[in-house]
């Protein structure tokens, strides 16, 4: 027998104390303090030390019980058949499957030439273990696992879970206890947290914690509002039940009783089928609607399970084969930001490298300032990092027990008053969660989005300048701002992938055409936050020129119809940024021009107060171009004809709108008459519209 030294004795006691604290937080308080992977490592270390130094074994050690104790507010339930845990195979590779199969075959005394053992492969759900007691087919009690011997009566909450039948289907035995997992789907979890944030209620760290909290609520009305699900996977106490010969047969019988059984399971002969199952579920893991942290292998034949029996707290006939942990703990070194395509500044945690979800993670999203404040994450904290499937890693919460001192709270605007990419000012609206860079036309991070918006149909209408072309122009360093579009040549465009000389000429022609635009289109093309087409038209009508708009203060901006303080602030902040004004000056220098006049000149336009309806295909103008002409002259374009319509502009293949106009006696005009009206303020004396009317 080995004799443990002082250091080993002290380490064993430290591990026992730490594990007890974590178990209390996890099982009793439903407030985990560390990720499952960290707990597993501590538990495994303690097991190893106790096995190496058996003289240190103690009945009080966490290794001799499943963990936790029932809360005093819930009635205690003693399990007739203990709810014990399953051994975890720490080797996450295919070798872990082979190790399990070897142990089983050795324990059964099988020789290499004997047939393979049949196994059932299942998912290892990340939820709360539960025992459902049915007497003569009626659900009479539901109990949590607790410490494995004694759990808590949660029947009042479990009855609200619609997936769990209150009465079993078919011919039910006198007594059967169904063991399974209560869990929360990811979409239900996100919806629950969204509702909680909207009403300033508790926000949960993960679906498992949310499910456990719901099951163990004292008020069933609170629990009923939390969406829970259930899978059956095991058997407890039973009487009068004809037990199937296999575990897979038991699951089939559960399904016949009307109990939900997970579809993702496999019956495999030998380790090869289990290895394939492990790989297949690994590929599916990120797309499953619920969280799992591994798969479970069980010897399928019930008689062999009995023969294999148990060792300490674990069955010899089953093992949990985990995947790389999706949550880990590491140090938050710093908080930086990333500037997105729309100018949004997203805070990013810079982490000490940690292996989580199968990859080494050094960065994780913190979403926005509100989330940082809600989670109370501070630089220097130990934090829980989560990566599920292909989802971007995120910081879930700080480990407050490990916080050193009282580090200052993080203030994004204080640390980043200027955009780290372009140096423009960073602002955040009163009712907005996101901080943004104001250098929309100038900021390299926003370059692609700004160009696509600038070239849009309802902005400068540069046909042929789509996503792929913009990506190539920006990535190649050819275009850095909208100004560079008007400096492009055929050779630069023709060098792009899939851009021939003809396409290059067509794009240059579209760019050339866009040099002349309405003031409203130019204002909209600038991409000012919260300024849409209608607001751009209102601003153009009110100020008459871009210079007047640039010089306007908040009070003047709020004199514009339908422009409130939020929009006014966005406009003022945009033009307060010198970089944006510089781009506007350069556009003018490149020959881009737009109609301007004294304040209110558009409101006095020749079409002011008139309503137009466009129908059919016009000879030279697109529908958007015709609409812009009408609106630029102060008119309104409607989608339907009524007695209040002043003009219907009809082109080829005009349909029901033309017929309705004629029936109502509405004036019908052609494209050339529209142009004459806008340019001169009068219709030609001889026109097709008169004859049609």
**Residue 573 in this model has a pLDDT that exceeds 50:** yes
Residue 129: pLDDT above 90? yes
Checking if the pLDDT of 69 tops 50, the result is no
- Record: fold of 327-415: OB fold (Dihydrolipoamide Acetyltransferase, E2P) (2.40.50)
pLDDT of 101: 96
Q: Does residue 72 surpass a pLDDT of 70?
A: no
Burial 315-331 (b: 16+ CB within 10 A, else e): bbbbbbbbbbbbbbbbe
Would you list the DSSP string of 598-638?
STTTTTTSTTTT-EEEEESB-SS--HHHHHHHHHHTT-EEE
Residues of the chain with CATH 2.40.50.140: 327-415
- DSSP-derived letter for residue 410 is P
Residue 159 has pLDDT above 90, yes or no: no
pLDDT at residue 17, as a whole number: 85
Mean pLDDT over 206-229 rounds to 84
Task: Pick the range with the lowest mean pLDDT from 111-115, 471-475, 655-659, 686-690.
Answer: 686-690
DSSP three-state, residue 475? helix
pLDDT at 601 over 70: no
In the chain, what is the straight-line distance between the N-terminal and C-terminal CA atoms, in Å? 112
Q: How many CB atoms lie within 10 A of CB 574?
A: 23
Query: For 199-213, 249-263, 578-592, 672-686, which range has the lowest pLDDT when averaged over its residues?
Result: 672-686
How many angstroms separate the CA atoms of 366 and 340, rounded? Answer: 14
Q: Which long-range contacts (CB under 8 A, 24 or more apart) does 509-513 make?
A: 510/461, 510/462, 510/463, 510/464, 510/465, 511/462, 511/465, 511/485, 511/486, 513/461
Query: 626: alpha, beta or left, given left = phi > 0 and alpha = psi -120 to 50?
Result: alpha
Q: How many CA atoms lie within 13 A of 370 on its CB side?
A: 11
Percent of the chain with pLDDT strictly greater than 70: 94
- In the three-class reduction of DSSP (H, G, I as helix; E, B as strand; rest coil), residue 531 is classed as coil
Residue 495 binned pLDDT confidence (cut-offs 50, 70, 90): confident
pLDDT level of residue 58 (50, 70, 90 thresholds): confident
Q: Sign of dihedral through CA atoms 32, 36, 38, 43?
A: positive
Give pLDDT, residue 29.
Answer: 62
Polymer length in residues for the chain: 693
Q: What is the mean pLDDT of residues 154-182?
A: 91
Considering the chain, what is the average pLDDT of its residues?
Answer: 88
pLDDT score of 390? 56
Residue 539 has pLDDT above 60, yes or no: yes
State the span(s) of the chain assigned CATH 1.10.150.20.
456-594
User: Is residue 479 a contact partner of residue 455, using CB atoms and an 8 Å limit?
Assistant: no
The verdict on whether 644 is a catalytic residue reads: no
Which tens digits make up the pLDDT trace of 631-657? Answer: 777 788 888 999 999 999 999 888 889
pLDDT at 420 (0 to 100): 95
Let me know if 676 is exposed, middle or buried by CB neighbors in 10 A (0-12, 13-18, 19+).
Answer: middle
Domain with CATH 3.30.470.30 in the chain: 88-322
What is the average per-residue pLDDT within 125-136? 94
Phi-psi region of 294 (alpha: psi -120 to 50; beta: other; left: phi over 0): left
**DSSP H or E segment with residue 648:** strand 647-650
pLDDT, residue 279, reads 93
Residue labelled with tokens 């996100």: 190
Closest by alpha carbon to 76, among 141, 125, 1?
141
The CATH number given to 6-68 is 1.10.287.610
Q: Is residue 494 within 8 Å of 505, Cβ to Cβ?
A: no
Q: Which CATH homologous superfamily contains domain 88-322?
A: DNA ligase/mRNA capping enzyme (3.30.470.30)
Cα(153)–Cα(155) distance, integer angstroms: 6
Q: What is the pLDDT of residues 386-440, one digit of tens each?
A: 886 556 798 989 999 999 999 999 999 999 999 999 999 999 987 788 999 998 8
Residues forming a β-bridge with 176 = 134, 238
CA 479: distance to chain centroid? 32
643-672: b (≥16 Cβ within 10 Å) or e: eebbbbbbbeebeebbebbeeeebbbbbbe
CATH 1.10.287.610 residue window(s) in the chain: 6-68
Predicted local confidence at residue 686, as pLDDT: 44
User: What is the share, in percent, of the chain residues with pLDDT greater than 90?
Assistant: 56
CA distance 491 to 508: 11
pLDDT at position 59 is: 63
- Maximum Cα interatomic distance, the chain, rounded to a whole number of Å: 117
Query: Rounded CA gap, 364 and 366, in Å?
Result: 7
Instruction: Pick the catalytic residue from 111, 124, 298, 569.
Output: 124
Q: What is the mean pLDDT of residues 18-33?
A: 73
The fold of the 611-692 domain, in CATH, is: Rossmann fold (3.40.50)
- Note the CATH number of domain 456-594: 1.10.150.20
Whether 681 has a pLDDT exceeding 80, the answer reads: no
* Residues 625, 611: Cα–Cα separation, whole Å: 16
Of 59-63, 339-343, 387-391, 422-426, which range is least confident? 387-391
pLDDT band at 156 (very low <50, low <70, confident <90, very high): confident
Confidence check: pLDDT of 263 > 50: yes
Calculate mean pLDDT across residues 216-225.
79
Supply the pLDDT for residue 605: 66
Rama region for 309: left / alpha / beta (φ>0; ψ in -120 to 50; rest)? left
């Amino acid at each position: 027998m080995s004799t443990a030294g002082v250091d080993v004795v002290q380490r064993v006691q430290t591990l026992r104390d730490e594990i007890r604290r974590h178990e209390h937080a996890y099982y009793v308080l439903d407030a985990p303090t560390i990720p499952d992977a960290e707990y597993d490592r501590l538990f495994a270390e303690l097991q190893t030390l106790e096995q190496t130094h058996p003289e240190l074994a103690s009945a009080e050690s966490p290794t001799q019980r499943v963990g936790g104790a029932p809360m005093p507010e819930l009635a205690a339930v003693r399990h007739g058949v203990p709810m014990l845990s399953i051994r975890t195979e720490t080797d996450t590779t295919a070798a872990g499957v082979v190790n399990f199969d070897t142990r089983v075959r050795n324990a059964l005394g099988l020789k290499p030439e004997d047939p393979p053992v049949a196994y059932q492969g299942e998912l290892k759900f990340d939820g709360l273990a539960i025992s459902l007691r049915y007497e003569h087919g009626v659900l009479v009690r539901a109990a949590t696992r607790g410490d494995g011997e004694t759990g808590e009566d949660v029947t009042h909450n479990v009855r609200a879970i619609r997936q769990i039948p209150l009465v079993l289907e078919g011919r039910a035995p006198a007594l059967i206890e169904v063991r399974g997992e209560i869990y929360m789907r990811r979409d239900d979890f996100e919806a629950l947290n969204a509702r909680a944030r909207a009403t300033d209620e508790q926000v949960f760290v993960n679906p498992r914690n949310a499910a456990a909290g719901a099951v163990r609520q004292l008020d069933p009305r609170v629990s009923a509002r939390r969406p829970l699900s259930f899978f059956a996977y095991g058997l407890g106490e039973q009487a009068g039940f004809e037990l199937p010969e296999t575990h897979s047969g038991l699951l089939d019988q559960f399904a016949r009783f009307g109990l939900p059984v997970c579809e993702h399971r496999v019956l495999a002969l030998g380790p090869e089928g289990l290895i394939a199952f492990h790989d297949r579920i690994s590929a599916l893991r990120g797309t499953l609607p619920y969280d799992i942290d591994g798969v479970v292998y069980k010897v399928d034949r019930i008689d062999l399970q009995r023969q294999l029996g148990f060792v300490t707290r674990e069955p010899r006939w089953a093992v949990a084969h985990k995947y790389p942990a999706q949550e880990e703990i590491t140090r938050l070194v710093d908080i930086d930001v990333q500037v997105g395509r729309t100018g949004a500044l997203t805070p990013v945690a810079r982490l000490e490298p940690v292996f989580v979800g199968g990859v080494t993670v050094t960065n994780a999203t913190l979403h926005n300032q509100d989330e940082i404040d809600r989670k109370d994450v501070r630089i220097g904290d130990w934090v829980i990092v989560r990566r599920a499937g292909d989802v971007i890693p995120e910081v879930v919460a700080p480990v407050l027990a490990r916080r050193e001192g009282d580090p200052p709270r993080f203030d994004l605007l204080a640390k980043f008053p200027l955009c780290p990419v372009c140096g423009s000012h960073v602002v955040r609206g009163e009712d907005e969660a996101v901080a943004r860079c104001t250098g929309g036309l100038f900021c390299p991070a926003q370059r692609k989005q700004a160009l696509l918006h600038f070239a849009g149909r309802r902005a400068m209408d540069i046909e042929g300048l789509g996503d792929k072309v913009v990506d190539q122009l920006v990535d190649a360093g050819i275009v850095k701002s909208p100004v560079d579009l008007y400096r492009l040549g055929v050779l630069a465009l023709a060098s792009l992938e899939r851009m021939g000389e003809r396409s290059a000429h067509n794009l240059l022609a579209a760019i050339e055409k866009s040099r002349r635009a309405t003031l409203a289109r130019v204002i909209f093309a600038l991409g000012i936050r919260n300024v849409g087409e209608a607001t751009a038209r209102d601003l153009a009508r009110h100020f008459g020129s871009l210079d007047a708009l640039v010089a306007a203060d908040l009070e003047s901006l709020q004199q514009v119809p339908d422009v409130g303080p939020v929009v006014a602030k966005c406009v003022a902040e945009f033009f307060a940024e010198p970089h944006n004004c510089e781009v506007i000056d350069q556009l003018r220098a490149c020959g881009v021009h737009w109609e301007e006049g004294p304040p209110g000149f558009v409101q006095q336009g020749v079409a002011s107060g008139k309503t137009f309806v466009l129908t059919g295909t016009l000879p030279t103008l697109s529908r958007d171009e015709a609409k812009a002409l009408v609106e630029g002259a102060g008119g309104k374009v409607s989608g339907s004809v009524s007695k209040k319509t002043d003009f219907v502009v009809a082109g080829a293949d005009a349909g029901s709108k033309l017929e309705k106009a004629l029936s109502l006696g509405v004036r019908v005009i052609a494209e050339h008459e529209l142009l004459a009206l806008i340019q001169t303020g009068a219709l030609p004396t001889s026109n097709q519209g008169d004859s049609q009317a």
